[in-house]
Amino acid sequence: MTGIASEGVLIWMFAGLVGLMLTGLPLAFVLGGLAILFTVLLWDPAALTITVLQIFDTMRSDSLMSIPLYVMMASVLQRSGIIESLYKAMELWFNRLPGGLAIGTVIICTIMAAMTGIVGAAVAAMGILALPSMLKRGYDQRLALGTICAGGTLGILIPPSVVTIVYAVTAQVSIGQMFIGGIIPGLLLAGLYVAYIIIRSLIDPSIAPRDPSPVAWGARIRSLRALILPFLIIIGVLGSIYAGIATPTEAAAVGVAGAVISAAVERRLSLAMLSGAGMDTIKVTAMILWITMGAKAFVAIFTGTGGADFLLEFIRDLDANRWLVLAAMMGVLVFLGLFLDEIGIILLCVPVFLPVIQLLDFDPLWFGILFMVSAQTAYISPPFGYTLFYLKGTLPPDIGMGTVYRGIIPFVLLQLVGLGLCAAFPELVLWLPKLMVAG
């Protein structure tokens, strides 16, 4: 290995990432290309094989298998008009509530979060499900995109969650306790989103058009029919997970079956519709998985060349007030989240942070949840948040990345508020796990 210092690696990789991304080169090849380039320049051409081995591993991932399944469920529901009916019903019921449809979307996102453990699956599914119906009703693009992106990422905190499992295994804390600990912070964030949507819509009603004319109760009641099928699918998916009938990945297939049956009930099932859903599915899945391949290679090379070493050394040697150390750790997490994926960050940071946490006598479970909230923030923070890209992949070509960025910024700030609340009031995190242990 050449003598380049860790700071140098970090700066060059970051600069390369930004520079190549700006040319409009697809992200998958920005990451993969840089991984190759930096392996040759900073490591050893022999190490290039790491890139291929990371891909072989991605090819056989059990958990990522849920991505095509949830995307297909979403596409079938969207194409069969079931979601459109659902939004019509929400329109009738929430017509006086500021930002009613965005709030409804946050609720659907929270339910999706409880169904899947994979971030990409929820965001891509919600992009397909919710966006067309919101835009059709004149909702501001930025509000709609921000809501979907932030809401779709709630799945990190709300169980099941693959990122949480990786953290729990790496930090040697109970998976179950981590899962339970994430529930209240997840709901808290969902609440913050809702509060923000209401306030924004009151200040600027044009971003979330309402029709305050009275709606007959008969029409409202009749519209509830649109809830039946989605409700049954939710019961089917969540029920099969929580009754021990299926693993989360398998439950996604139950969701697809539910969507197809629902389409049949609505008499909208056709070969053309299924074929369209199949193409949606492979497009979105391939988009996400090619990025994943590039990202894994990039993180491996970043680790192998010691890109984060000086940041980690800094934390290890930091001799300051325990809260300052904690803030520094969160800062490093959010910074690395600017360009690394969360699983890579966990593998890099947790082994270094955990002894520090223990030394400073912080609760490892509580820290784990703070870690997850900052991970979630990293997933949606511009310029480089994976869910932003996943969402972009489901958008019509006339909506650019700039719109996605502008849409998400308020939600990133809300995340920081949520992070601050969880840090200031540890009971938000620890109350439920304690209750479960006691009970």
Partner 1 sequence: AGAGTFAAPHVARAAGQPVKWRMQALWDANTTPMKFEQLFADRVKELTGGGFEIQTFTAGQLVPANQAFDAVRAGAFQMMKTFDGYEAGKIPAFAFTSTVPFGFPESDQYEAWFYEKGGLDMAREAYGKAGLMYIAPTVYGQEPIHSKVKISSIEEFQGKKGRFVGLASSVMGAMGVAVTPLPTAEVYSALEKGVIDIADRGDLTANLQAGLAEVAKFIILPGVHQPTTATSYVANKAAYEALPAEYKAVLAVAARETSAALRQHIVVQDVASLAKYREAGVEIVELDPADIRANRPKAEAQWRVATKDDALATRILDSQVGFMKELGLLG
Partner 2 sequence: MSALVGVVRGYCTAVTAFNHLLARLAALVMFVVVPVILFEVVSRYFFDAPTNWAMESATLVFGPYFLTAGPWLLHIHGHVNIDILHKSVGRRLQLVFDAFGQLVIMGFSWVLIELSWPLAVNSWELGETSFSSWNPEIWWTKFFLPGALALLFLQAVAEFLRAAIQLCGGDDPMNGAGRPRAGVA
**Taking CB under 8 A as the rule, does residue 348 contact partner 1?**
yes
Using the rule CB under 8 A, is 177 a contact of partner 1? yes
Residues 389, 407, 411, 419: which binds partner 2 (CB under 8 A)?
Answer: 389
**Residue 393: phi, psi to the nearest 5?**
-65, -15
CA nearest neighbour of 261 among 253, 124, 211, 357:
253
Packing angle of the helix pair 342-359, 364-380 (nearest 10 deg): 150
Tell me how many residues contact partner 1 (CB under 8 A): 47
- Among residues 282 and 436, whose Cβ is nearest to partner 1? 436
Q: Is the peptide bond before 383 cis (omega within 30 degrees of 0)?
A: yes
For partner 1, the closer of residues 95 and 174 by Cβ is 174
End-to-end Cα spacing for the chain: 55
Residue 138 or 383 having the CB closest to Na ion:
383
Tell which one of 46, 203, 424, 438 touches partner 1 (CB under 8 A).
46
Buried b (16+ CB within 10 A) or exposed e, 266-280: eeebeeebbeebeeb
CB 399 within 8 A of CB 133: no
Other CB atoms within 10 Å distance of the CB of residue 219: 10
119 binds partner 1, rule: CB under 8 A? no
Q: Which of residues 15-44 bind partner 1 (CB under 8 A)?
A: 43-44
Q: Which of residues 226-285 bind partner 2 (CB under 8 A)?
A: 240, 244-246, 249-250, 253-254, 256-257, 274-276, 278-285
Which residue in 24, 212, 244, 397 binds partner 1 (CB under 8 A)? 244
Q: How far lies 428's CA from each of 226, 260, 333, in Å?
A: 35, 39, 21
Q: Interface with partner 2 includes 72 (CB under 8 A)?
A: yes
> What is the C-alpha separation between 122 and 48, in angstroms, rounded?
32
Please tell me whether residue 181 binds partner 1 under the rule CB under 8 A: no
Chain residues 313-332 in contact with partner 1, contact rule CB under 8 A: none
Residue 311 has which token pair?
């940041």
Among 34, 54, 404, 408, binds partner 1 (CB under 8 A): 54
Would you count residue 28 as binding partner 2 (CB under 8 A)? yes
Which residues bind to partner 1, rule: CB under 8 A? 1-2, 43-50, 53-54, 56-57, 62-63, 160, 162, 165-166, 168-177, 241-248, 300, 303-304, 343, 347-348, 350-351, 354
